[in-house]
Structure 1
């Protein structure tokens, strides 16, 4: 008798709960969308047409002040726009932010994976961590990955899929959980990250419109972000087990685009080789940490007069992708030599070439996605949309809890059009920070509310530069998976984070809990 068909978005068991059934229907509708390559090409065309239709639409931020800035939509169908598209097509491709980092990190991971080092590490992890804690551990690690900027997208999302596959769970659920943790939890962390001083500077400048002596420091949201780390971990785990995995159902390894190595019990020789390789990895990690901690390191910047010391690590974090590639590659090669999967340098070169060969579909997709994002940026549609949305909210004359919720909603919606948290805040802060200060909300509270709204739609925005690589990773395990299923799988995380995180923030405000060391939710005007 034939085996039962796997539970897929096209076959909905009657026992599924209401939410899961609706997700199946959404996936079915979404899967009617074109191939991701075609979809990005159509979105790029839509930006071109929209830029022509909206050409000349302008906004002014801080009108009537010395800091006033005007922005106008530029037409890509104008003489200048057409010339720009042709002259910059290659630069748009090469300048696609994730392209270089993704290929660099995947080079290191690919070699380590082909020697068996990554699979061996996952075997040890599966044996060491209780299965009930795997999901929470993965999401927590992904939230914490914002310490190394965007590296979590490249490193942890594929590892999330590998871990779930090794446990016999659906790898797309592991990939989704990891992506939700990295993108949805990007603002949260137990430590201060590079985003904190960046936003604090913009918030402080906006606050000085009302109070010239006001200063906002990088720790201004620290307590709330620590609580948010716990929140994202808990809610992400709940969504994964209650909605995402039931929607995806059982995974059939035959759906994979290439044979995948199974996770088996570790024997003595394998464990010894792995422990030696992990010792090498520890030495490499110590060297990487030393490059960041040593004040004379070539990866440390000199302290400029008037700048905080945290800026001295800019070059270090800009090199993090190369450092991570080495962290995987060196112990991976050691493990390959010990288990005899590497016999000479030609084996290493072959593994590197095979890794880049598997990234071909991503490179093609990156070319089109790079044009789409560059068109959106050059035309200034996103900037003008963001400012007009902010001005509209200001004109509604809302107050109290309704205003806070509306502000977070506007931040979430605008994040679908302007992906960069700092770029968007540069336009929104001068409008909202002074407005909410006059309603007795501190700049730090406004910044925290913005971070919530900005985070919850990171998971589903098509302007997220790392979405193409997520699709490519997913197609490794389900070769026929479509963008509709990928986005539908991510939607429950976005909705749950939006509702739960907003409630957490509102409760925080009502109870008057400090947002950071010495920082409250109320603004006390200067006497």
Structure 2
């Protein structure tokens, strides 16, 4: 049965969302849409290349952190080289598509945890022990905190958010949206320093040295602001889910169900054994990471976050995080009697990913074409040049910078790739009028995070569409974007207001990091 929509709200904003959904869903299947996007890139790239479109700019190499002058030209996909590129890289584009391996490998463990009954038992225990009014907040907050583990939240928490809401008798797409909003829209909020912080800090450091030799932007440069942002985004995400998204979706009448029964003695025993097993597994991982000479640290630097086997192996660790307790639960609760059951659970999980594989193939080509043609880079540089040409100063400049970052983020998904282009322009420019690189970096991160959830170019967007189609086979890009627009707008407004308040107060934005440069 198809998902129904409650049209109780007739305000202008709801009509606007309905218009986005209707227009978007009248478009072809998402696979066809990405195919059409790819064709459009071919045509536009050829026109731009024929016209001789090129730009000169200064950027920072993300791997070496060296400053270099770059000339970028639009590259055609319809000349001889472009046609050879499309044929010769089609397979590599697909197999190298970042979300593909992450999702498939993680699903091996998730499939066992789900097939053995562990996830169902955990959800029922959650429903029976958690106040219903807190569940939305928990889902959004968990999504934000998952950012510390890189892309794990997209694979684990987004589908889990849908299952949690379904178990509470609520619309699963609202749970999926809440988790997606936390994971992706709240990308620059966290109580902990994550993997992106040292990367952005390194780029900011090199840009700051255009003006001040020896200036260093630490990975903790935005930490205080991120901590407060975590509670802000959790609150906004909860409000938008319960007051806008869920009422608009209405009652779920799809085929997916969740039966709320009391746990049996076998299930209780299974949860106990699974919990003990999980603690042992976590202990082993900590022993491989925490000691100064631990095996999973970077053997050259001794670091954990950069160049370590721990970060490189995060996906298989996540797989084992579900696989090990899943097997333990199944054996204790007697849902697993042999190794054949484990393989069958994995196979069943893989069999549900057929539609995702097809979507990933065309989405991977589109993203690769966009990068090959340099159209995203040209858009980013032109956007930066436009804002610079306005000659705004102070808060108007900062707010304009946030909006430009948000707009460019629709076309370039990588936060570090955009920052490598924009930092050499805006950090020196704002340092000259007294603003610190740390403050400029915060403004960029706000814009970068808030439009992740409405950009089809975001690498995990196809993944979210596939997860949503489990609950509504006919769902299209229009439904997903219209569902996420309220989060995007609310996060952008709320975060900008927080930045203005912080600016007025003049509080530190991180340890030894301030809004304005010392005189």
1:67-82 pair list within 5 angstroms: 67-82=68-83
Gaps of 5+ in 2: 60-65
Is contact 1:208-1:214 (8 Å) kept? yes
Is contact 1:513-1:521 (8 Å) kept? yes
* 1:58 corresponds to 2:23: no
Take 1:382 and 1:314, find their aligned partners in 2: how far apart are those partners? 30
Shift of 1:29: 2.1
1:58-207 pair list within 5 angstroms: 58-62=54-58, 67-207=68-208
Question: How far does the alpha carbon of each residue in 1:197-224 deviate from its partner, in whole angstroms, 9 at most, with x for none?
Answer: 1111111100111111211111111100
Instruction: Give the total of aligned pairs.
Output: 511
1:461-472 pair list within 5 angstroms: 461-472=455-466
Is contact 1:19-1:243 (8 Å) kept? no
Take 1:245 and 1:331, find their aligned partners in 2: how far apart are those partners? 33
Which residue is 2:216 aligned to?
A: 215
* 1:293 corresponds to 2:294: no
Which residue is 1:496 aligned to?
A: 490
Question: How far does the alpha carbon of each residue in 1:411-456 deviate from its partner, in whole angstroms, 9 at most, with x for none?
Answer: 0000011110001100000000001111111111000100001000
* 1:452 corresponds to 2:449: no
TM-score normalised over the length of structure 2: 0.95
Shift of 1:507: 1.2
Q: Secondary structure at the match of 1:462?
A: coil
Take 1:29 and 1:311, find their aligned partners in 2: how far apart are those partners? 43
1:358-397 pair list within 5 angstroms: 358-397=352-391
Take 1:163 and 1:66, find their aligned partners in 2: how far apart are those partners? 47
Take 2:168 and 2:232, find their aligned partners in 1: how far apart are those partners? 25
Evaluate the alpha carbon distance shift between residue 66 and residue 93 of structure 1 in structure 2; reply closer, same or farther with a 3 A threshold: closer
Gaps of 5+ in 1: none
* Superposition CA RMSD, Å: 1.8
Which residue is 2:62 aligned to?
A: none
In the alignment, which of 35, 41, 47 is matched to residue 35 of structure 2? 41
Take 1:265 and 1:487, find their aligned partners in 2: how far apart are those partners? 37
Take 1:70 and 1:315, find their aligned partners in 2: how far apart are those partners? 35
Take 1:454 and 1:35, find their aligned partners in 2: how far apart are those partners? 28
Evaluate the alpha carbon distance shift between residue 313 and residue 82 of structure 1 in structure 2; reply closer, same or farther with a 3 A threshold: closer
Shift of 1:481: 1.6
* 1:316 corresponds to 2:317: no
Is contact 2:20-2:481 (8 Å) kept? no
Question: How far does the alpha carbon of each residue in 1:181-210 deviate from its partner, in whole angstroms, 9 at most, with x for none?
Answer: 000111111111111111111111001111
* 1:265 corresponds to 2:266: no
Shift of 1:281: 1.4
Which residue is 1:483 aligned to?
A: 477
Question: How far does the alpha carbon of each residue in 1:432-486 deviate from its partner, in whole angstroms, 9 at most, with x for none?
Answer: 0001111111111000100001000011111111111111111111222222111
Question: How far does the alpha carbon of each residue in 1:1-31 deviate from its partner, in whole angstroms, 9 at most, with x for none?
Answer: xxxx99834x623x55553343233322221
Larger displacement relative to structure 2 (264-273 or 361-370): 264-273
Take 1:285 and 1:128, find their aligned partners in 2: how far apart are those partners? 24
Larger displacement relative to structure 2 (434-443 or 283-292): 283-292
Take 2:424 and 2:468, find their aligned partners in 1: how far apart are those partners? 40
Q: Secondary structure at the match of 2:252?
A: coil
* 1:505 corresponds to 2:507: no
Which residue is 2:63 aligned to?
A: none
Take 2:134 and 2:258, find their aligned partners in 1: how far apart are those partners? 23
Which residue is 1:232 aligned to?
A: 233
Which residue is 2:327 aligned to?
A: 333
Larger displacement relative to structure 2 (329-338 or 316-325): 329-338
Q: Secondary structure at the match of 1:61?
A: strand
TM-score normalised over the length of structure 1: 0.94
Evaluate the alpha carbon distance shift between residue 477 and residue 227 of structure 1 in structure 2; reply closer, same or farther with a 3 A threshold: same
Take 2:312 and 2:245, find their aligned partners in 1: how far apart are those partners? 34
Take 1:284 and 1:455, find their aligned partners in 2: how far apart are those partners? 33
